[in-house]
Amino acid sequence: MLKVTEATVRFGGLTALDSVSLSVDAGEVLGVIGPNGAGKTTLFNVICGFVRPNSGTIEMDGRRLARIRPHQLAGLGVARTLQGVGLWPGLTVLENVMVGLRHQARAGLVSALLGLPRSDRSEVDLRASALEAMERLGITDVAGRPATSLPYGIQKRVSLARALAGSPRLLLLDEPASGLSSAEMTEMGEIITGLAQDMAVMLVEHHMDLVMSVCHRITVLDFGRVIAAGSPAEVRDNPSVTAAYLGNAVDAPGASA
Amino acid sequence: MLSAGFLRRPLVRHLVIAVVLVVVLFLVTGILSSYNNFQIALIASYVIAVAGLSLLTGLNGQISLGHGAFMAVGAYTTALLETHQHWPLALVLALSAVTAAAAGLVTGLGAARLRGPYLAGATLALAVGLPELTIKFTSTLGGESGLPVNPPPPVSFLGASFDPNRYLAWVSILCVAVTLVLLANLVTSRFGRDFRAVRDDEIAASLSGIRVAGNQVLAFVVSAACAGLGGAIYALATGIVNPAGFTLVLSIAILTGTVIGGLGTLAGAVWGGILLVYLPRWSESLSNGFKLNKVVSSNLSLGLYGVVLIVVILAFPAGLQGGVRQAGRALRSRFMSGPGSSGSTGAAAPAGVSTPVASGGGGETS
Ligand SMILES: Nc1ncnc2c1ncn2[C@@H]1O[C@H](COP(=O)(O)OP(=O)(O)OP(=O)(O)O)[C@@H](O)[C@H]1O
Ligand SMILES: [Mg+2]
């Protein structure tokens, strides 16, 4: 579904991505791991059009996304959660999720201004689908609360619900388990495994237990280069991966970060 | 079942509140003096402009120090069309909003990449620069001395002796009602949600499919249209448009009214408008009461004005409307002693599915 071919990104003298290639298909969870500053978030930024690669291509369903702009992604069926939570503090949980559904909204500016029935119906539908997405993640009971007033673990779920609301085909998760308790992390793992039934998932994560248990394949980045790729077992046994992580304990680093 | 659903519709809710208020105010204008009616028109012009800026700054996170300039665009449009072309009032008012909206579009496009202090600077330049145009085009715009604006003659069935100021108060109340109903609809719609999402986090907003720049330009256009309509009423009320009436002071006053009333709330715009008209007068008459000499007294009135602003901001960081809401909540928890008894934040809104946050909910109340 998504194919990245030899993507290179330079920020001044720093090469954040160095000829990175990878691909992910529906029904699959691709893990992207690597030490801090390895280029994982930058890879997502390239896919989303926030950063233009100096060279290399991004293809979606065989079509090249040459000048993709971030706001066009939702329409292509790509959703992403941000490192941290990236929720809108001034919106309730329900509203946060409803914005995630906005490309399904049909009412135009005029019917919104005049409060026409068309606008109301569209809102009612959006609300119903949003509640459905929230139901799946068990957050309907906080629907009316300001999003950032909630415990961090719940906020993480809200941001996942927002991304899922639009029924994406490709989901990019940037550290969905950071800051979670180990019980919450186990739940997050189950959620991700469930999601991969009907979409492609790319998972950036520092928690090795989680990565090893939910990913079908893993790509390891270090200083912007792919230093290993393969099944969780292959990657785990790869000595260069261990070397890259030296200084960051391989198991469960970043439990605090 | 059906009627409950009917009443839940935002438009119906907004209209019911607006109609009730309009009727009450129409009746009130009958017992007020002609001068009070003139003040109502003045308040109305501020309320509309403040509501527009409140949407831009409070909901969309863009600051503007140039709304006085958009008011000027609306006011001059009215002067040119109403006085010289004798077009129907409703059309003149609508076109005043449209020309200001066009000015807002140009500004919004130009400002799309500007944030925070840079946006403030750019709009400040607009506030300072635009009135200068009237001097460039003295033959059409009247230069320093400006253009006269005829007060709109009351519609004939009211009779020849109907007080023009009372008629003007009616017109402006109607304009406020229409503007606030439209804005309340917009704010509770998905567009209002997008405005706030862009304000809170542009990156997350674009990932959800919002064209951030387009969204910001839209907010500018809507906001400028309001300022234009406010300016039109201002012109009708004061009977003259000239550059001295639309200086930076006006722009700052509008921003002050927005913040004091309560950023992002439509009800706050009403408080803001009232304050902008009455506060300077109160402080003036208060300082005159001390029977000091002229210079001291006029400075004292400015000082009092400033002190009141500071006190209000300190006492109500969320503006007067925030204070009203707080008081309402306190009263409710005292007399209903229901669930959610803890006075602080959590009690606010577990209801979930009904109306959202500040803006939407507050918009209709008053
Ligand atoms: N917009 C930018 N401008 C300049 N340098 C950048 C930019 N974005 C990222 N970088 C640099 O590129 C490198 C890769 O950063 P990136 O955020 O992709 O790392 P990461 O793998 O996501 O790290 P972490 O695990 O800490 O989130 C870092 O050295 C970072 O400082
Ligand atoms: Mg990162």
pLDDT tens digits for range B186-229: 999 999 999 999 999 999 999 999 999 999 999 999 999 999 99
Atom of ligand 1 at shortest distance to CA of A224?
A: 14
pLDDT tens digits for range B149-170: 988 888 878 877 888 899 999 9
Distance A16 CA to ligand 1 centre (A): 7
pLDDT of residue B52: 97
Report CA-CA distances (Å) from B354 to A57, A127, B60, B133, B360.
46, 10, 22, 48, 11
Atom of ligand 1 at shortest distance to CA of A38?
A: 21
Are the C-beta atoms of residues B49 and B71 closer than 8 Å to each other? yes
CB contact under 8 A, A115 and B356: no
Report CA-CA distances (Å) from A92 to B193, B210, B224, B244.
10, 18, 28, 44
pLDDT of residue A186: 94
- CA–CA dist B215, B209 (Å, integer): 11
Q: Which of B189, B208, B358 sits opposite A74 (nearest CB)?
A: B208
Which residues in B lie closer than 8 A to residue A170 (C-beta atoms)? none
Distance A39 CA to ligand 1 centre (A): 5
The answer, yes or no, to whether residue B23 has pLDDT greater than 80, is yes
Which residues in A lie closer than 8 A to residue B182 (C-beta atoms)? 113-114
Distance B92 CA to ligand 1 centre (A): 55
Report the run of H or E that residue B36 belongs to, with start and end: helix B34-53
Average pLDDT estimate for B95-120: 91
pLDDT of residue B258: 93
Tell me, letter by letter, the H, E, C secondary structure of B172-214.
Answer: HHHHHHHHHHHHHHHHHCHHHHHHHHHHHCHHHHHHCCCCHHH
Are the C-beta atoms of residues B285 and B111 closer than 8 Å to each other? no
pLDDT of residue A132: 93
Are the C-beta atoms of residues A160 and A137 closer than 8 Å to each other? yes
- Can you list the residues of chain A whose pLDDT is less than 50? 249-257
Chain A window 50-69: which residues touch B at a Cβ cutoff of 8 Å? 50, 69
The answer, yes or no, to whether residue B344 has pLDDT greater than 60, is no
Which ligand has the nearest atom to the CA of A43? 1
The answer, yes or no, to whether residue B353 has pLDDT greater than 50, is no
Q: Which domains, ranges and CATH numbers included, belong to chain A?
A: 1-77+168-247 (3.40.50.300), 88-167 (no CATH)
Closest-CA residue to B75 (of B274, B248, B245, B189): B245
Average pLDDT estimate for B70-93: 91
Return the higher-pLDDT residue of B279 and A92.
A92
The answer, yes or no, to whether residue B357 has pLDDT greater than 60, is no
Please state, rounded to an integer, the average pLDDT across all residues of chain B. 85
The reply to whether ligand 1 has any atom less than 6 angstroms from the CB of A40 is yes
The answer, yes or no, to whether residue B76 has pLDDT greater than 70, is yes
pLDDT of residue B363: 35
CB contact under 8 A, A95 and B189: no
Tell me whether B356 touches chain A (CB under 8 Å): yes
Which ligand has the nearest atom to the CA of A20? 1
Chain A closest-CA separation from residue B64 CA (Å): 20
SS3 call for A80: strand
Return the higher-pLDDT residue of A173 and B335.
A173
CB contact under 8 A, B351 and A144: yes
Are the C-beta atoms of residues A244 and A222 closer than 8 Å to each other? yes
The packing angle between helices B212-238 and B89-111, to 10°, is 140
Q: Which of A91, A103, A114 sits opposite B196 (nearest CB)?
A: A91
Atom 5 of ligand 1: nearest residue by CA position = A11
The predicted complex's ipTM stands at 0.91
pLDDT tens digits for range B246-271: 999 899 999 999 999 989 999 999 99
Q: List B52's β-bridge partners, or say none.
A: none
Give φ, ψ of B293 to 5 degrees: -75, 165
Are the C-beta atoms of residues B13 and B231 closer than 8 Å to each other? no
Return the higher-pLDDT residue of A2 and B144.
A2
Of all residues in chain B, the percent with pLDDT exceeding 70 is 89
CB atoms closer than 10 angstroms to residue A59: 15
Of A68-82, A110-124, B113-127, B289-303, the least confident:
B289-303
